[in-house]
Chains A and B, each alone.
Chain A
Amino acid sequence: DTGVSQDPRHKITKRGQNVTFRCDPISEHNRLYWYRQTLGQGPEFLTYFQNEAQLEKSRLLSDRFSAERPKGSFSTLEIQRTEQGDSAMYLCASSRQGLEQYFGPGTRLTVT
């Protein structure tokens, strides 16, 4: 399978814990995006990378959230001191510059 992959697919954590998600983009894609989706809503942009550079961050991305793409390939999204409001599906997408974005299956986070 050469599509976008995400790990884990599901994560249940207690409030206050830190969590980290991983995204592996399509190999020849230089852009990588993170989105958050809550039930019944469309995905909301969080941040994106071009190669290893993080070029844009949404105001939704509070200081508890941090994303990295150290070698311009896979990316991680960390949420520190999770809150119940962080419960959502976290989606990763990748694209060649300026072209359509292909999404992974998402990581569903539940904060109890």
Chain B
Amino acid sequence: GESVGLHLPTLSVQEGDNSIINCAYSNSASDYFIWYKQESGKGPQFIIDIRSNMDKRQGQRVTVLLNKTVKHLSLQIAATQPGDSAVYFCAENAGNMLTFGGGTRLMVKP
């Protein structure tokens, strides 16, 4: 079946640097995408979303880019902080449910 996946399972960055987390999706019918952050022992926390009619959306220190041609989604975190350390999931919505990828662990080095 079609699924959402992530390129890298672990990303290690220096505090203050920018982070880029990538995601590939395969369901061309997906019209809505969300990035979630999940800390250990907690539920996923909504970060930012984007609809398929957009290429880019910015939030506070985060930017999501959507490339529908190659079915690629990325999350950019500016000036990464220790509090950003977590597992990040992208999710796609092609109906009434979210399909999640396997997650990328972001580790921030002081």
Contacts and interface: CB of A to CB of B under 8 A. Distances in A.
B53 interface: no
Interface string B52-85: 0000000000000000000000000000000000
Interface stretch (A13-21, A37-45, A70-78, A79-87): A37-45
Interface residues of A, number: 22
Given A91-B44, A100-B49, A106-B43, A40 B102 contact: yes
A103 B103 contact: no
* Residue with the greatest number of chain A CB neighbours at <10 A, chosen from B89, B91, B96: B96
* Residue with the greatest number of chain B CB neighbours at <10 A, chosen from A40, A100, A104: A100
B43 A103 contact: yes
A43 B98 contact: yes
A101 B98 contact: yes
Contact of A42 (B42, B95, B102): B102
Closest 10 CB pairs between A and B? A42-B100, A103-B43, A45-B97, A103-B44, A105-B43, A106-B43, A42-B89, A43-B100, A104-B43, A100-B46
